[in-house]
Amino acid sequence: MQYRTLGRTGIQVSPFALGAMMLGTDGRIGNGDEQDSIRIVHRALDAGINIIDTADRYSQGGSEVLVGKAIKGWRDDVVLATKFNGPMGDDPNRRGNSRRWITTAVEDSLRRLQTDHIDLYQAHRPDDTVDLEETLSALTDLVRSGKVRAIGSSDFPASMQVEAQWTSERRGLERFRSEQPTYSILSRGIEREVLPVAQRYGMGALVWSPLAGGMLTGRFRRGQQNDLSRAGMFRHDQDDRRIDAVEQVVALAEETGIPTTHLALAFAIAHPGVTSALIGPRSVEQLDDLLAAADVALSDEVLDRIDAIVPPGTDVTRLDQQYQPPALLRPELRRRPAAERSAA
């Protein structure tokens, strides 16, 4: 592995990060076999991957428990990343980015992970009900206490990243050192602002879903019925455009002799603003296939042809898990009151 520096933290990480969302789950969406999941973690570590990313909400803590068991004896060699924000029960205060929840969530994660510190603690999503200053202040206290080494964000829009950096500088608080957005051949929107902003502020980028939710595995083709389409992971108004792009990417992979998964992963880590791409294998066999992509370097010609299929800064697909700002989700935020509209 050729290791890369995570932003300006000095922390060296592998170009592929092991995403643990699919490990140690109940089997409906991932690998329900604990021992097999642990073997996947060990195989990744043996291959040189040194960063593992999980979150408290994955299997309601089950993923963190699995990771904690798997890295026993490896802890000093692992860059351990986890996240907070998602709901951890029905209590409305057991979620979000408030100081109240962060100080509880970190203790819960430390216990499940069986460690005394987290290398990278990330806000899983923005929280429009909390001032960024409160979130950053709570995270700063965790860094100063030694429970957290660095802090990051996930799916934060560029404008919020700039606000966070300004707040940290103005208030003397720890800065977000990384951002975790989605990025793939089919989802290139972050090339417009998110990645340039991250580069400007010396932030690392750990990109998720480089295989576009499985669309870039080569298994999902035009005219096929499959679990992915039934699961409703994508907006269906994008189906035709998305499948057109997938068919062209598969054709390019066949022409170049590069497996589609390898082409997709090599693309994701070719951007100078990307530090690592998260891979989420469900079996050792899948992991071995993905690891082989580490040796693939795409030529300028191939990258130019990918640009022709999906232009830079363009999204032809959007995963349901991606952050949507309140202004898009809540009609009252984009419509004047009915009385004002009728008066006009």
CA gap 146, 163 in Å, rounded: 25
Are the C-beta atoms of residues 113 and 81 closer than 8 Å to each other? Answer: no
Question: Position 184: which residue type?
Answer: S
Q: Are strands 118-123 and 79-84 parallel, antiparallel or unpaired?
A: parallel
Scan for tokens 């079996």, then name that residue.
283
Backbone angles phi, psi at 275, to 5 degrees: -85, -55
Give the DSSP H/E element, type plus range, for residue 161.
helix 158-171
For 197, residues 6+ apart whose C-beta sits below 8 A from its C-beta are 158, 161, 162, 203
Burial class, 74, CB count within 10 angstroms (exposed 0-12 / middle 13-18 / buried 19+): middle
Question: Strand, coil or helix: what is 267?
Answer: helix
Rounded to 10°, the helix 132-145/158-171 angle is: 60
- Residue 58 designated active-site: yes
The one catalytic residue among 58, 121, 183, 201: 58
203 token code pair: 């932030």
Are 98 and 89 contacting, i.e. CB atoms less than 8 angstroms apart?
no
CA distance 258 to 294: 12
Which residues carry out catalysis?
58
